[in-house]
């Protein structure tokens, strides 16, 4: 395992790799990943580059191999998160229905809280049934900033296309 840190508009982010895929994107308050610090590992430098483009508003999709370690239900939830389009949101109940467990909205929330690759696996795009910003590992203020970033980029793209 290798890891590094990057500075972002939402604070320091910790990136981890198993050598071939991204295994973690954690926030500043999270413990350091296991393994050796490696600021030059190709998976980590490419992830940092793509995150920079995302925060600059020039990237709406990430293109990197991901290794999502978790229970079957968690991995199904995380796969559904990857299907939420940039600049859009889904509710916990909608994700629960998509994974075939329509009464499992709270379990979806728990799976979101265990998401090992925040931002790239966009758990910030999941909101409460009434549209409220409920829970986020880095705080709802960070969740709000990510959603505002994506909404602003989407609106600029739609304006240019009109």
Catalytic residues: 123
How would you classify the pairing of strands 126-127 and 2-8?
unpaired
How far are the Cα atoms of 42, 59, 90, 103 from residue 86, in angstroms, in the given order?
Answer: 25, 10, 11, 26
User: Where do the H-state alpha helices sit in 4-139?
Assistant: 42-56, 72-82, 92-98, 105-113
């Amino acid at each position: 395992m290798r890891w590094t840190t990057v500075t972002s508009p939402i604070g320091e982010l910790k990136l981890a790799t198993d050598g071939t895929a991204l295994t973690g994107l954690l926030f500043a308050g999270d413990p350091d990943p296991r393994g050796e610090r490696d600021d030059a590992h190709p998976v980590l430098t490419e992830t940092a580059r793509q995150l920079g483009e995302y925060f600059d508003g020039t990237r709406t999709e990430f293109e990197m191999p991901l290794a999502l370690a978790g229970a079957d239900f968690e991995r199904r939830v995380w796969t559904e998160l990857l299907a939420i389009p940039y600049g859009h949101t889904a509710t916990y109940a909608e994700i629960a229905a998509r994974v075939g467990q329509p009464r499992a909205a709270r379990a979806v929330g728990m799976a979101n809280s265990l998401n090992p690759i925040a931002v790239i696996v966009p758990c910030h795009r999941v909101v409460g049934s009434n549209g409220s910003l409920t829970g986020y590992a880095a705080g709802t203020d960070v969740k709000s900033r990510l959603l505002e970033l994506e909404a602003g980029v989407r609106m600029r793209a739609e304006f240019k296309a009109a």
